[in-house]
Amino acid sequence: MKIVTVVGARPQFIKAAPVSRAIRERGTEILVHTGQHYDTSMSDVFFEELEIPKPDYHLHVGSKSHGAQTGAMLAKIEEVLLSEKPDALLVYGDTNSTIAGALAAAKLHVPVAHVEAGLRSFNRRMPEEVNRVLTDHTSRWLFCPTDTAVRHLKSEGITEGVYQVGDVMLDAVLYNAKLANEKANIMQKLELESGQFLLLTIHRAENTDDPARLQAIVEALNALTMPAVLPLHPRTRGKLAAAGLAITNPLVKCIEPIGYLDMLQLEVNAKKIVTDSGGVQKEAFFAKVPCITMRDETEWTETVELGTNLLVSANTEKILEAIETFEVDFSAIPSVFGNGKTSETILDILQKDLG
């Protein structure tokens, strides 16, 4: 069993770590890094921390417009597939790396396995939503994290090759949580007390590319009355500068992007998490920390339905009100993302089909 795995963005490195371990125990993996996240602090550190083998191919695509980036990846991934002749191609999530890998494989008749299949925000203006839908419709194996994802696929007429396997990010969190406690020192470095700070992240194009939405978020951050930490994505930093906006609140510590173990430590110890990231929403759920999401909708609808995640859009007043009042009793919240053994389940299915 020979599998080409395509990754390119920070959340995919996290998801790939436990699955890569499982693949390499049973077969051969060729790891392709598209270079979609090309900054060392956003990429290389994850391979080191999560003990992911160095990529067999690094495509160095870098930052471009959606069309140019996806096209460049597609052409280069096609070359890899022609050279390696794998039994299957494995992709994660909803990035340009995901759709480029899926399209390149589909056109060469290499079967596609999609981890995190069936997620829907139902907002086709989001590039991530388009990537999810197209990838699902080209995939042979659709590995869904929840029952909701399975229902979404059924509503689109996709019923073959659909498996509810749980969430690989839970595998990653369980595997790395103890490691984070042992190795991470971000709390001490930033002089933070557990439960006494907010953790912030901003990177979605719907927020960073819209000056009005970005301004509303900045106004909320500048009005915070409790300590907060914001690992600032390079792209977001550039968008703030371009819009003439600045985070001036001395309570908000804007720091450089951090590694996964440091991020886990901050998530587990935060009082609340304020984000626009899909992955961070789930990690907040796993960490049992209330999550406030600065989006109009989310693909992780279960977290909203269970009352652990509150959608506030990019609305200054709603963001501040949620930070002040939103509380969650996690003792009453069931687990809906599997048992932490999703990677093994995925490999059981692939091995049965591919031998």
Q: How far is CA 171 from CA 80, 182, 231, in A?
A: 29, 18, 24
Write phi, then psi, for 124 (nearest 5 degrees): -75, -5
Active site residue 203: yes
Count of beta carbons in the 10 Å neighbourhood of residue 106 = 18
| Helix, strand and coil in the chain, % to nearest 5 | 50, 15, 35
Cα separation, 45 vs 19, whole angstroms: 18
Cα separation, 295 vs 327, whole angstroms: 19
Cα separation, 80 vs 90, whole angstroms: 13
Q: How far is CA 261 from CA 54, 126, 222, in A?
A: 18, 29, 28
In the chain, alpha helices (H): 10-26, 44-49, 66-84, 96-107, 127-136, 147-155, 168-183, 186-189, 205-208, 211-222, 234-242, 260-269, 278-287, 301-305, 316-325, 342-354
Catalytic sites, residue numbers: 203
